[in-house]
């Protein structure tokens, strides 16, 4: 502890914890739902609040940078001469909240209950992002300096697939240059067991709309005469999987490699058990591709989910119509050998072969992101493992994740630097669902981890 003569990281966080939790509550309080235009102003106000936080703790060059949709919040501190530069990425936008009636507490009026702070974005990603911010505050408030150079990049479009981020990073390449990056937008097995994520699935989010006759018509008068767009859409969706849970799009699995026996064995050792994943999901039993464990199916195997479907009458009671259109939001999770552009092409081709000729269809691309595998052989990952050991008293395990974080691929492709995927959320945090929450114990340990992480990067290497 001699590294920290004034106050240990643990003592600092404990003393300030009430304040930090209430600040996090204020952060969650913004309904910064990036997908819904009616919340554009809330997203913006959240960005301004975050910028002010960064400024108040002593970060420099704080900027709220407009993009075509939602602003990027940038800040840096670059006075640690000869020390590495760490890029901290996070996102302050959140998922939509429906179905609202399933929330125990209002999603944007955070409540602390049984050791968890409840609210949309609590764990994904406001709580995790905020842990790093409080680590910066530790150094800046006590020492008025940071042990390493820091660049913060907090975006407001992650939940809609970061549409403008690639272009913006390309344009600001020199400005964003760093030696390593940390992204905390993932889960660890428990409050006792930290984990570093080494692979992420890619993503492709589409919407298919089926159109039949030009308007809704009477199903008594016309029932039996024409193709119902809902029937056609259901048939298309049904034709996407076979009975064994495999995806039927021709070419979908082309090039998808079997993972090594060694990797699968390690995954089996450290990964969540099938029963635990099913239990976390709230389902009564598992389902999916034969020949793979549930953990494998959700991480190293691709998948396809219909995220929403609608068509025809949506109100109460019956309505005797054949609707004119029906649509479904469909998203893929992809593994490293799958390029989202190719998969979209294959999907379009397949739908055009199976769609009934009586209807028309159109497909819209919402978002896409390439899959990622992160190398574990670098000092940043080692520093993260050290920091986790300090804060959690436990060696981290290495996990594959089923999720997608577009920025990770972008950083790897554009800067060719190590990205540390350092998670603080729990499997039971209900990310994307109702009753999202974040463990206050993990918030505490997250801040402490980040403090040790920065110090250890400083120790690990001077840079030219």
Choosing from 160, 176, 249, 355, the residue that interacts with a second copy (CB under 8 A) is: 160
- Quote the least distance from Cβ 124 to a second copy, whole Å: 8
The residues, any chain, with a CB within 8 Å of residue 426's CB and separated by 6 or more, are 123, 187, 188, 190, 191, 439, 442
Q: What CA–CA distance (Å, rounded) separates 6 from 191?
A: 27
- Quote the least distance from Cβ 117 to a second copy, whole Å: 19
Binding map of a second copy across residues 313-352, x = CB under 8 A, - = no contact: xxxxxxxxxxxx-x-xx-x-x-------------------
Residue 360, strand partner residues? 211
Task: Report helix, strand or coil for 167.
Answer: helix
Q: In this complex, which beta carbon is closest to a second copy, that of residue 269 or of residue 284?
A: 284
Binding map of a second copy across residues 280-309, x = CB under 8 A, - = no contact: -xxxxxxxxx----x--xx--xxxxxxxxx
Q: What CA–CA distance (Å, rounded) separates 394 from 96?
A: 35
Choosing from 57, 142, 237, 373, the residue that interacts with a second copy (CB under 8 A) is: 237
Rg (CA), the chain: 23
* Residue 171, Cβ density class (10 Å: 0-12 exposed, 13-18 middle, ≥19 buried): exposed
- Could you identify the residue written with the tokens 């790897």? 412
Choosing from 149, 184, 219, 412, the residue that interacts with a second copy (CB under 8 A) is: 219
Residue 365, strand partner residues? 206
- Quote the least distance from Cβ 214 to a second copy, whole Å: 4
Under the binding rule (CB under 8 A), the answer on residue 409 touching a second copy is no
- Quote the least distance from Cβ 76 to a second copy, whole Å: 30
Scanning 12-20, 131-139, 212-220, 339-347 for contacts with a second copy by CB under 8 A, the matching segment is 212-220
Q: Is the peptide bond before 340 cis (omega within 30 degrees of 0)?
A: no
Under the binding rule (CB under 8 A), the answer on residue 184 touching a second copy is no
Q: In this complex, which beta carbon is closest to a second copy, that of residue 75 or of residue 196?
A: 196
- Quote the least distance from Cβ 21 to a second copy, whole Å: 24
| Window 87 to 106, contacts with a second copy (CB under 8 A) | 95-96, 98-99, 102
Helix (H) / strand (E) element for 99: namely none
Residue 203 token pair: 């993503």
Q: What CA–CA distance (Å, rounded) separates 98 from 33?
A: 11
Angle at the Cα of 313 from the Cα atoms of 307 and 314, rounded to 5 degrees = 55
| Window 39 to 78, contacts with a second copy (CB under 8 A) | none
Under the binding rule (CB under 8 A), the answer on residue 382 touching a second copy is no
Under the binding rule (CB under 8 A), the answer on residue 403 touching a second copy is yes
- Quote the least distance from Cβ 191 to a second copy, whole Å: 18
């Amino acid at each position: 502890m001699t590294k920290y003569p004034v106050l240990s990281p643990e003592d600092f966080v404990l003393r300030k914890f009430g304040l930090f939790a209430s600040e996090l509550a204020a952060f969650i309080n913004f309904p910064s739902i990036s997908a819904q235009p009616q919340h554009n102003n809330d997203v913006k106000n959240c960005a301004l609040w975050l910028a002010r936080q960064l400024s108040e703790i002593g970060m420099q060059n704080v900027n709220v940078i407009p993009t075509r949709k939602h602003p990027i919040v940038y800040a840096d501190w670059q006075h640690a001469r000869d020390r590495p530069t760490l890029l901290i990425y996070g996102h302050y936008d959140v998922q939509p909240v429906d179905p609202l009636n399933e929330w125990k507490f209002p999603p944007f009026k955070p409540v602390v209950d049984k050791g968890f702070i409840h609210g949309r974005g609590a764990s994904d990603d406001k709580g995790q992002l905020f842990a790093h911010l409080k680590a910066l505050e530790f150094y800046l408030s006590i020492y008025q300096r940071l042990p390493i150079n820091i660049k913060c990049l907090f975006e407001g479009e992650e939940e809609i697939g970061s549409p403008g981020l690639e272009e913006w990073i390309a344009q600001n390449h020199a400005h964003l240059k760093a030696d390593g990056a940390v992204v905390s937008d993932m889960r660890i097995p428990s409050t006792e067991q930290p984990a570093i994520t080494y692979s992420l699935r890619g993503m492709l989010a589409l919407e298919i709309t089926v159109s039949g006759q030009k308007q809704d018509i009477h199903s008594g008068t016309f029932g039996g005469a024409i193709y119902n767009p809902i029937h056609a859409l259901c048939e298309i969706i049904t034709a996407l999987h076979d009975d064994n849970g495999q995806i039927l799009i021709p070419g979908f699995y082309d090039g998808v490699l079997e993972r090594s026996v060694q990797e699968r064995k390690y995954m089996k050792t450290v990964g969540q058990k099938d029963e635990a994943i099913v239990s976390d999901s709230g389902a009564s039993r598992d389902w999916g591709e034969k020949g793979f464990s549930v953990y494998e199916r959700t991480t190293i195997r691709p998948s396809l989910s219909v995220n929403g479907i609608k068509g025809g009458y949506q109100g109460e009671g019956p309505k005797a119509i054949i609707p004119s259109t029906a649509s479904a939001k469909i998203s893929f999770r992809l593994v490293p050998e799958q390029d989202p552009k190719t998969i979209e092409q294959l999907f379009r081709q397949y739908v055009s072969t199976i769609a009934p000729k009586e209807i028309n269809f159109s497909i819209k691309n919402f978002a896409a992101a390439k899959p990622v595998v992160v190398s574990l052989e670098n000092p940043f990952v080692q520093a993260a493992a050290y920091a986790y050991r300090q804060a959690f008293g436990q060696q981290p395990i290495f996990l594959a994740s089923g999720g997608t974080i577009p920025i990770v691929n972008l950083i790897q492709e554009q800067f060719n630097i190590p990205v540390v995927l350092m998670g603080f959320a729990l499997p039971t945090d209900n990310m994307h669902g109702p009753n999202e929450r974040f463990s206050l114990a993990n918030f505490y340990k997250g801040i402490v981890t980040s403090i040790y992480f920065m110090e250890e990067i400083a120790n690990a290497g001077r840079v030219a």
